[in-house]
Amino acid sequence: MIRVGLGYDKHVLTEGRKLILGGVIIPFEKGEAGHSDGDVLLHAITDALLGAAGLGDIGSYFPPSDSQWKDADSALLLKKCWQDVKNAGWVLGNLDCVIALEKPKFLPFRDQVRESIANILEVSKDQIFVKAKTGEKLGDIGQGRAVEVWSVCLLEAEK
Ligand code: MG
């Protein structure tokens, strides 16, 4: 059996915060606002994996109203959710993500980000792909006010 999951997230970009994508700190003048560390890519991935397994979503696991998740490391949050997905009998087929971000250029960091996500999930780097699109200078993305991510995953029932 296979299952598909879709995750989406959006964070405001603001000065005085780190830009963290897939667990990698990307040098930039702004970063993601957020209750946790704001890693918008890991949040979308977490939702895709939980959704595919029918286990809930990141908000039900880690309510923003709960102060223990303030500035939380999103990699640890993802690891906890992924462990539950694996315990439910699923293995990862592949994970594909699109980041909408005007600046900075993502391509120089792509391999590092894929490697980081693969390490967090303990899967092979070739199961993970990430690409980036600009907002063509239009709207929140194009004006550099926000970053968005869509993530799709395929889960396969463990043999
Ligand atoms: Mg988020």
Write out pLDDT tens, residues 128-157: 999 999 999 999 999 999 999 999 999 999
CA 64 to ligand 1 centroid distance, Å = 10
CA 110 to ligand 1 centroid distance, Å = 20
CA 78 to ligand 1 centroid distance, Å = 12
CA 39 to ligand 1 centroid distance, Å = 7
Q: Which pLDDT does position 63 carry in this prediction?
A: 87
**Cis amide prior to 104 (ω within 30 degrees):** yes
- Which residues have CB less than 5 Å away from ligand 1 (the ion)? 9, 43
CA 125 to ligand 1 centroid distance, Å = 23
CA 129 to ligand 1 centroid distance, Å = 19
Neighbours of 63 (CB within 10 A): 12
First CA to last CA distance, the chain: 10
CA 86 to ligand 1 centroid distance, Å = 22
Whole-prediction pTM: 0.97
Beta strands per DSSP E along 16-157: 19-21, 24-26, 30-32, 90-100, 128-133, 146-157
CA 73 to chain centroid: 12
CA 136 to ligand 1 centroid distance, Å = 23
CA 159 to ligand 1 centroid distance, Å = 33
Q: Which pLDDT does position 67 carry in this prediction?
A: 85
Residues of the chain with pLDDT under 50: none
Q: Which pLDDT does position 65 carry in this prediction?
A: 84
